[in-house]
Amino acid sequence: MTRIRFQQSLEDLKEQLLVMAGLAEQAIQRAIEAYRVRDLSICDLVSRSEIAINRLEREIDQAALDLLAMEQPMASDLRFILSVIKINADLERVGDSAKAISDRVRAMEQMAAADLPVDIPRMATLAAEMVRKCLQSFIEADADMARSVLAMDDAVDAMNKAAYKALTKVMEEQSHLAPQALNALMISRALERVADHATNIAEDVVFWVQGADVRHHKSVTGGRDPHALA
Amino acid sequence: MGVGIEVSNLNAWYGTNHTLQDINLHIPANHATALIGPSGCGKSTFVRCLNRMHETNPIARVTGTVLIGGLDIYNDAKPVEIRRRVGMVFQRPNPFPTMSIYDNVAAGLKLNGYTHRRALDEIVEKSLKNSALWDEVKDDLKKKSGASLSGGQQQRLCIARALAVDPEVLLMDEPASALDPVSTSKIEDLIFQLKSQYTIVIVTHNMQQAARVAEKTGFFLNGRMVEFDSTHKIFTNPSDKRTEDYITGRFG
Amino acid sequence: MAIFVYLIYKGAVSLNLDFFIRNPVPVGEPGGGMANAIVGSAILLAVGSVIGVPVGIAGGIFLAEFGRGTKLANAVRFTADVLNGVPSIVMGIAVYSLVVVPQGHFSAFSGGVALGIMMIPTVCRTTEEMLLMVPNAVREAALALGVPNWRSVLAITVKTASPGIITGCMLAFARVAGETAPLIFTAFGNVGWSEKLSEPIAALPLQIYVYALSPYDEWHRLAWAGALVLIVLIVLAVSLVRYVTSRGVLKGAS
């Protein structure tokens, strides 16, 4: 096989992205754990990993740019590098969302505990599962696994909408609980965004592996298959 | 105006060497089509079958059909007639060494008996303009010999010479492989402009060049055509693994 | 070079105007020259060239462009090589049998034939070699323009090789210009002017030969002068052709 150095560079790029992915996944899991047990020291861990994530984002983009300029990649190599660049950005956003959640947890410590009609833990579990699965599909270059992540996004969206409805009702009817409700809403929002980023990553994996652009599959038909008749 | 080329069951031999096997493809009119593949894959042989230059070699043989603009070039026409309609530019620029620039461009016409002086002047000027060489040589047309130009200029001179006989198809066998990057860019820009008037088939080793100039690309391997599709598809998501391996540099 | 200097030394002393405008006179009479021999050589070489050059060039074109690899081409090449090796005296005898005997008399024509045949192998082989040196790319360029093969050969390939082909002709010319043996039985020589090609004709080499073998000092001196003039004329002729053709090539025919 020829282009050994180039093959190695591609492997190295994948390794770098996997390190980044590990950090992002860990950040989300820690943020959710911090929410569950209300442990501020875990919040500190999340803040610190944010720095590493940002640094890695810059390094990965630079490495990808160099490969594009120097090696004239084609076909699957080109799609791979393009996907890496996009997944890189989504992972950095996941890190941002993790930090947002940990900030909300810190804020919650200042408030009284409140019993709110939202199941944050279930949303969190689903979002974390989506992140795990989409990264697994990248590691194994498994387009089918990636496609299954796309389907999970609907559930998280639905939960977010329900949370919005329930929490605005709480804010109207029990205004003394408004700060807690707002906090919970922001956490729900952050989790919904994590799910979106996981979806994006899954779409990029499908693009890399199969060369198919499956983005915005919901399009304007609101969830229905735009190619189905009637 | 260019015409389409329809190739059916083309097989070619050099002696006992079966250099092309069962080639079928349709080359669209007024487009540039690139042919890529490793050395010895048959792409140059294929192109030479399109203007019957393949048979200038005494041990060469061809079977199958090639229709150019609907005309069966092997059964319904003579080689000389075909070559006036299908022009060729070679890998190494080959201007006629004993002739001036003017005479080089006019050679195809003059050697076929066309001597109308003013018409020749116009055709020479138009061809040199079409090959982006006019401005550089317009003052030395009859004073300088064709061989005194630089490599890139010589190749553009050869293009002008081919265009002067007003072909419908232009075959280019690795036209820029012997040229520096600046000359290569000029030739590529030229191909872009010429597409609207001619059908262009370009054989190239340089995949980036194929990607830059051609709408359709064919991948040849060991005498067969493995894949023929839009350039975009071939270079972003080819269907055949052999194509993928070649263009990503895994082999060849 | 040394020979040339020696020639000048020996020959110049006998050169005078008479040499160039007077015909030979019997021994003992003053004056006398080789005017008729000079003109005679020119005529013989002209006839020889008219026969030898076209045939030789045509043969060379055939060998290089149309008959490559064929049995006929091999036969032609073999014939040319054999002809090249034939001693000039044998050539003279052959032409004697073929031309002089049927015609019944010696003639400038038969002399020209002998010289012409001797020119053919050199012209042919040089033409072939020069044509083979034309790069194939040039031929392909012409063919790809839809130019018929014969036209491409003549207008492009031959033209490209023409400096070399002309050199070949000059080589052959210079070689036969000094040939004496074939003329002995064909042109035969003449002490006066020849009126027609069918008459015997004088030639410089012949005259030199006859004079050199004679017992007369006067004729010896004339022979030296003749040799000098012969060399000078050959050099002049070759240079003239070179000059004319080099100007023609640079102009780039339109």
C3 burial type by CB count under 10 A (0-12 exposed, 13-18 middle, 19+ buried) = exposed
Residue A139 within any structural domain of the chain: yes
What is the Cα A24 distance to its own chain's centre?
Answer: 8
Please give the pLDDT value at position A221.
40
Model confidence over C97-129: pLDDT tens digits? 888 888 888 888 888 889 999 999 999 999 999
Chains with at least 3 CB pairs less than 8 angstroms from chain C: B
Chains with at least 3 CB pairs less than 8 angstroms from chain A: B
**Domain around A169:** 4-221
Please give the pLDDT value at position A218.
56
Contact B56 C148 (CB under 8 A): no
Whether residue A74 lies within 8 A of chain B, CB to CB, comes out as yes
Residue A229 within any structural domain of the chain: no
Model confidence over B198-235: pLDDT tens digits? 999 999 988 888 888 999 999 999 999 999 999 989 99
User: Is the per-residue pLDDT at C23 higher than 80?
Assistant: no
B175-B181-B185 Cα angle (round to 5): 65
Please give the pLDDT value at position C38.
82
Lowest mean pLDDT across A12-16, A55-59, C231-235: C231-235
Whether residue A75 lies within 8 A of chain B, CB to CB, comes out as yes
Minimal CA separation from C110 to chain B, in Å: 38
Contact C145 B84 (CB under 8 A): yes
- The whole-angstrom separation of Cα C70 and Cα C137 is 22
pLDDT: which is higher, A3 or B247: B247
Taking Cα atoms as reference points, which of B161, B152, B167 lies closest to residue B103? B161
Contact B112 C146 (CB under 8 A): yes
- The whole-angstrom separation of Cα A24 and Cα A92 is 7
Please give the pLDDT value at position C252.
39
Chain A positions in Cβ-Cβ contact with residue B242 (cut-off 8 Å): none
Q: What is the CATH number of the domain that holds B79?
A: 3.40.50.300
DSSP track, C156-176: IIIHHHHHHHHHHHHHHHHHH
Residue B38 within any structural domain of the chain: yes
Residue B173 within any structural domain of the chain: yes
Whether residue A36 lies within 8 A of chain B, CB to CB, comes out as no
Residue A84 within any structural domain of the chain: yes
Please give the pLDDT value at position A217.
65
State the angle between helix axes of B101-110 and B151-164 in degrees (0 to 180), rounded to the nearest 10.
Answer: 30
**Domain around C211:** 2-251
Residue A230 within any structural domain of the chain: no
Whether residue B99 lies within 8 A of chain C, CB to CB, comes out as yes
Query: What single letter denotes the amino acid at residue B100?
Result: S
Q: Which residues of B99-122 are buried (b: 16+ CB within 10 A; e: fewer)?
A: bbbbbbbbbbbbbbeeeeeeebee
Model confidence over C139-151: pLDDT tens digits? 999 999 999 988 8
> Among B236, B247, B249, whose Cβ lies nearest the Cβ of A211?
B236
Chain A positions in Cβ-Cβ contact with residue B249 (cut-off 8 Å): 2-3, 6, 74
Please give the pLDDT value at position C30.
67
Return the structure tokens found at C205.
């080499």
Instruction: Give the B:C interface size as CB pairs under 8 Å.
Output: 80
Lowest mean pLDDT across A171-180, C70-79, C169-178, C184-193: C184-193
Contact A3 B207 (CB under 8 A): no
Say what the ipTM of the complex is: 0.90
Contact C160 B82 (CB under 8 A): no
Residues of B (195-234) whose Cβ lies below 8 Å from A: 207-208
Minimal CA separation from A94 to chain B, in Å: 29
Residue B111 within any structural domain of the chain: no
Please give the pLDDT value at position A45.
92
Whether residue B236 lies within 8 A of chain A, CB to CB, comes out as yes
Domains contained in chain B, number:
1
Return the structure tokens found at B216.
């359709």
Chains C, A in contact, 3 or more Cβ pairs below 8 Å: no
Chain A positions in Cβ-Cβ contact with residue B207 (cut-off 8 Å): 72, 74
Contact A2 B208 (CB under 8 A): no
CB-CB contact of C59 with C119 (8 Å): no
Lowest mean pLDDT across A55-64, A215-224, C118-127: A215-224
Residue B184 within any structural domain of the chain: yes
A193 membership: H or E segment, kind and range: helix A178-210
- The whole-angstrom separation of Cα B134 and Cα A52 is 60
Whether residue A70 lies within 8 A of chain B, CB to CB, comes out as no
Q: What percent of chain C stands above pLDDT 90?
A: 20
Taking Cα atoms as reference points, which of C62, C160, C57 lies closest to residue B107? C160
Q: What percent of chain A stands above pLDDT 70?
A: 93
The phi-psi region of residue B35 (left if phi > 0; otherwise alpha if psi is between -120 and 50; otherwise beta) is beta
Whether residue C50 lies within 8 A of chain B, CB to CB, comes out as no
User: Is the per-residue pLDDT at A125 higher than 70?
Assistant: yes
Minimal CA separation from B187 to chain A, in Å: 21
Contact A75 B250 (CB under 8 A): no
**Domain around B86:** 5-96+168-247
- The whole-angstrom separation of Cα C193 and Cα C212 is 21
Contact B53 C143 (CB under 8 A): yes
Contact A74 B251 (CB under 8 A): no
- The whole-angstrom separation of Cα B183 and Cα B205 is 16
Please give the pLDDT value at position C137.
92
Model confidence over A158-180: pLDDT tens digits? 999 999 999 999 999 988 888 98
Whether residue C137 lies within 8 A of chain B, CB to CB, comes out as yes
Whether residue B251 lies within 8 A of chain A, CB to CB, comes out as yes
Please give the pLDDT value at position C241.
81
Q: What percent of chain B stands above pLDDT 90?
A: 70
Whether residue C250 lies within 8 A of chain B, CB to CB, comes out as no
**What is the residue-averaged pLDDT of chain A?**
90
CB-CB contact of B161 with B103 (8 Å): no
> Among C140, C155, C253, whose Cβ lies nearest the Cβ of B53?
C140
Model confidence over B7-56: pLDDT tens digits? 999 999 999 999 999 999 999 999 999 999 998 899 999 999 999 999 88
Sheet architecture: strand order including B71-72: B17-27, B5-14, B60-68, B71-72
Chain A positions in Cβ-Cβ contact with residue B235 (cut-off 8 Å): 74-75, 78
Tell me the β-bridge partners of B88.
B171
DSSP track, chain C: -HHHHHHHHHHGGG--HHHHH-----TTSS----HHHHHHHHHHHHHHHHHHHHHHHHHHHIIIII-TT-HHHHHHHHHHHHHHHS-HHHHHHHHIIIIIHHHTS--HHHHHHHHHHHHHHHHHHHHHHHHHTS-HHHHHHHHHTT--HHHHIIIIIIHHHHHHHHHHHHHHHHHHHT--HHHHTTTB--SS---STTS-B--HHHHHHHHHHSS-HHHHHHHHHHHHHHHHHHHHHHHHHHHHHHHHHHH---
Contact B249 A75 (CB under 8 A): no
Minimal CA separation from C171 to chain B, in Å: 23
Q: What is the CATH number of the domain that holds A9?
A: 1.20.58.220
Which residues does C244 contact at the CB level (< 8 Å), separation at least 6? none
Domains contained in chain A, number:
1
Whether residue A3 lies within 8 A of chain B, CB to CB, comes out as yes
User: Is the per-residue pLDDT at A229 higher than 50?
Assistant: no
Domains contained in chain C, number:
1
Please give the pLDDT value at position B114.
85
Model confidence over B135-179: pLDDT tens digits? 999 898 888 998 899 999 999 999 999 999 999 999 999 998 888
